[in-house]
Structure 1
Amino acid sequence: MTPVSVTQGSGPIVLGLPHTGTYVPEGIRAQLNDNGRKLADTDWHIDQLYDGLLPDVTTVTANFHRYVIDANRDPQGESLYPGQNTTTLVPLTDFDGLDIWDTPPDAKDINTRRDAFHAPYHAALTAELTRVRDLHGLAILYDCHSIRSNIPFLFEGTLPDLNIGTNSGATCASQIEQVVHKLAASASGYTSILNGRFKGGWTTRHYGRPAEGWHAIQMEIAQSAYLTDETPPWTYNTEKAARLRTCLTGILHALNDTAPEMNT
């Protein structure tokens, strides 16, 4: 299993998918406990949800599971949300704060996984953002995520359906933030928020360099919006997903149309 899959498109948008992968090497799987082997914190079916929504889009997908190493965390282990519960570069617990390892990884394990999985994913993402910027004068990284809507360990209450993160406007031009926020806020049947609990992970913050022509925005979707239930077997609900795909199609096409306007 290769650590990353890339589909190249000719448009200005790159979709990042760091958490849809479920591959765990056998040696690492043997170190997980029964709870960890459930792989509960996957962004279930997020690749299927976005598939085919926008022609000529580039996708960069991590095939490995976030329990191997989290592609959306600082490779040096710095916390995204100091003072709040979160998971680490190689998570020691699940999103409910429960242990996932029989044999937790040591520093050597983490370094090995960083080189074998985290680094190739970000090398591919960097290469694609550079290629797209060379084609269009800018690149828009749209980072695709999903999560259960109720996780008391991580946040209070019920998460809105559409959670937009730009690190309080720092990771992209205001036009990009406004386009996504306006369409999400006006989407019938969905709740949304801009820079709420999820302000953008390490990927969004690291690649969001508007002055260099790299714009990044994160979309964290509540899984209740497209799964039958937020419990195993994590069934993709085609009816829910079809409605949500219509909303996401509008967002991506509007972003695609915004890109050339930013170069005029």
Structure 2
Amino acid sequence: MDKVVSFHQGTLPLLVSIPHAGLRLTPAVEAGLVDEARGLPDTDWHIPRLYAFARELGASVVVGEYSRFVIDLNRPEDDQPLYAGATTGLFPATLFEGQPLFKAGLEPSAAERAGYLEAIWRPYHDTLTGELARLREQFGYALLWDAHSIRSVIPHLFDGTLPDFNIGTFNGASCDAALAERVRAVAAGAQGYSHVLNGRFKGGHITRHYGAPANNVHAVQMELAQCNYMEEVAPFTYRDDLAQLTQRVLEQMLVAMLGWGRERYPA
């Protein structure tokens, strides 16, 4: 396989995970996609660019290089559903709008998908596991921010228009309540933006699996409505005029997270 994970090691007890920005396809997936999927519409577009400030802050950053159409890094390896109602699995079969992802009979084989699990999914999670362990060893705790984005209107997945900032803590299980409140307070104070805590998106596998407050690992998922930094239709253009404002709020959230960590775990 080509490079499957990009990883930058930082100097702070914060790891930013970006699992759904990848654009690479395997030959089998590329050959089988329906025409509507060839533009990779369900990608978390431009998220590494949007979060470029995180590296400057001193955070570690891990980015998946392969498209979620190959394998979804934010789903458990046993492919158990995370949400009630319409959703997508470890090996997506449909687009977010509900249409089939692959032409009939051209889905990757079971053997090919087993290979994707070992060669793409596992290295990403090995990187998460290793870096969180390093941070906890060095600092006594670790903070995980799982960064996502999605179109603001997808009737197949949710009703109406999505709030701008969708904060997920698996109903409080993945991080300390005071930390969640720090992040929520930043969103609440951001003029012109809407937010929700544990609404439609409560956190996927990464947030649920790695967030372990009792073991001093605190995880938060951010599902950002894409209208806040880009055009939501092809060619999915990055809007710097929108992104700069949104970046300021996201940066304030990460700074608040780090501030909470310093107070909760004084050196």
**Shorter-normalised TM range:** over 0.9
> In structure 2, what is the equivalent of residue 261 of structure 1?
263
In the alignment, what sits opposite 2:239?
237
Alpha-carbon distance between aligned partners in 2 of 1:255 and 1:89, rounded to the nearest angstrom: 30
- Could you say which residue in structure 2 is the equivalent of 1:40? 41
Corresponding residue to 2:73 among 55, 60, 71: 71
| Residue pair 2:29, 2:69 contacting (<8 A) in 1 also | no
Shift of 1:10: 1.2
**1:138 and 2:141 equivalent?**
yes
How far 1:112 sits from its partner (Å)? Answer: 1.4
TM-score (norm 1): 0.97
Contact preservation (8 Å) 2:229, 2:242: yes
2:28, 2:99 → 1: CA distance? 21
Letter in 2 for 1:11: L
8 Å contact kept, 2:182–2:257: yes
* Residues matched between the structures, number: 262
> What 5-or-longer segments of structure 2 have no aligned partner?
none
> Is residue 2:44 matched to residue 1:61?
no
The letter for the 1-side match of 2:97 is: D
Task: Give the deviation of 1:152 after TM superposition.
Answer: 0.3
Amino acid at match of 2:51: Y
Q: Choose which of 165, 169, 174 in structure 2 pairs with 1:171.
A: 174
Q: Which runs of 5+ in 1 are unaligned?
A: none
| Contact kept in structure 2, 1:35 and 1:99, CA below 8 Å | no
Residue pair 2:167, 2:202 contacting (<8 A) in 1 also? yes
**Distance (whole Å) between structure 2 residues aligned to residue 253 and residue 88 of structure 1:** 33
Q: 1:18 aligned to 2:19?
A: yes
Matched, 1:110 2:141: no
Shift of 1:230: 0.7
Who is 1:214 aligned against?
A: 217
Number of the residue aligned with 1:153: 156
Contact kept, 8 Å, 1:198 with 1:220, in 2: the verdict is yes
Q: 1:73 and 1:110 mapped to 2: Cα distance?
A: 14
Letter in 1 for 2:139: H
TM-score by length of structure 2 reads: 0.96
Write the distance in 2 (CA, Å) between the matches of 1:64 and 1:78. 21
Distance 1:209 1:110 in 2: 29
Name whichever of 105-114 and 11-20 sits farther off: 105-114
Report the Cα distance in structure 1 between the residues aligned to 2:149 and 2:245, rounded to whole angstroms: 16
Offset of residue 36 of structure 1: 2.2
TM-aligned CA deviation for residue 25 of structure 1? 2.1
* SS of equivalent residue, structure 2 residue 35: coil
Give, in angstroms, the shift of residue 34 of structure 1: 1.4
Q: 1:246 aligns to what SS in structure 2?
A: helix
Partner residue in 1 for 2:51: 50
Q: Percent identity?
A: 43
1:124 maps to which residue? 127
Give the superposition deviation at 1:26: 2.6
- Aligned-residue CA RMSD (Å): 1.1
Match of 1:186 in 2: 189
Q: Secondary structure at the match of 1:6?
A: strand
Contact map agreement 1:36 1:99 (CA 8 A) in 2: no
* 1:254 CA drift (Å): 1.3
* SS of match in other structure, 1:16: strand
